[in-house]
Amino acid sequence: MEKHDESSNSVTDIAADGDVILVVGPERKKLRVHSLILKNVSTAFNAMFGPHFKEGQGLSGAYPKEIPLPKDSAAALELICCVIHSRNDAVPDPPLPSEVLQVAIAADKYDCAVGLKFAGESWLTYYDIKNTVELGRLMAAAYIFDSAHAFWKITLELIFHHEGSYLQLVDEDTRHAIPLTIFCLLEERRSMIRTELGQILLEVSASPEHIDKSCNCTILQAFSWMELWPAEIANMSISSAIKKAEAVSSSVPNQHSTSCYLRYNDNRQKEGLAHGMDIIKNRGGLCLDCVRMGRNAGTKECRIKH
């Protein structure tokens, strides 16, 4: 993307013959673009560059007019302008989650999310992020972009992999971008899954046919299960608890007494745990349509079946 000096400041030529220079953010970054393209994708810019406002009068590629936007994110508006001007060579692949959220916030402000639909879907589904704070930013962006499938997948990751309070995901951007009730819904779903997981582990570990007081291995395994009692599960992520449970279930005892029932019932124990884990793992994330409408159960109008 070409840059040149104009009025003693560098100008980024997103469109070299553009008739408008957006002067964005406190750093006053200058982006040269086409007003017609901005008008086509944004109702806000359509009004701004219309005949009733001074910004839309006397526009010329020979003498581009500067439009100050001091309160906006320069990086976000540059990404938006690159996408809508088909300057994909200048778009990071993919942008950072914080950048995606800033783009979503700017797109919401200027009502141009439709023009960014395909780019936004790509950014929201192309990630391999373990940091749940970053996932929280992508969740907020998915909410703003109204991407039901991405919202479902990202909230599922947050439910299974986040430890501690979901208030850790709240910052100045997410606080103002999405309803805080979403974080309550995440905690509600995680608490429900933890309860189900605790019940499954209790049934598997305390089943009478798995207990033999004369057998060292059953006693040792019982102590292992105690690390997954509900009080312990509450202090770890769902995914960590599942991994621990599977590790306990798959452990092979080193000793057997003559009356050890574990060697005969271990498969039943594994099967019971595996069935319960499958049910839990198939639990979905949050339905964006239900979140918006304040529903608890899915309807035929929901884009995600649940």
Residue 299 counted as domain residue: no
Residues in the chain: 306
> Are 136 and 63 in a shared domain?
no
Please identify, among 178, 200, 215, the residue that sits at the C-terminal boundary of a domain. 178
Residue 84 counted as domain residue: no
Pairing relationship of beta strands 20-24 and 65-69 according to DSSP bridges: parallel
- Nearest Cα to 162, choosing from 124, 183, 131? 131
Residue 12 counted as domain residue: yes
- Residue 12 sits at φ, ψ, to 5 deg, of -90, 120
Name the band, by pLDDT with cuts 50, 70 and 90, for residue 67.
very high
- Beta carbons of 79 and 91 less than 8 angstroms apart: yes
Residue 305 counted as domain residue: no
Q: What is the mean pLDDT of residues 291-304?
A: 83
Contacts of 252 (CB under 8 A, 6+ apart): none
Q: What is the percent of the chain where pLDDT is above 90?
A: 47
Residue 125 counted as domain residue: yes
pLDDT tens track for 68-115: 999 999 999 999 999 999 998 888 878 899 999 999 999 999 999 999
Domain range for 43 is 2-72
pLDDT value at 7 more than 70: no
DSSP 42: -
Residue 22 counted as domain residue: yes
Predicted pLDDT at 81: 97
pLDDT tens track for 218-247: 555 555 656 666 667 777 888 888 887 777
Q: What is the mean pLDDT of residues 184-209?
A: 79
Domain count, the chain: 3
Residue 302 counted as domain residue: no
> Are 206 and 270 in a shared domain?
yes
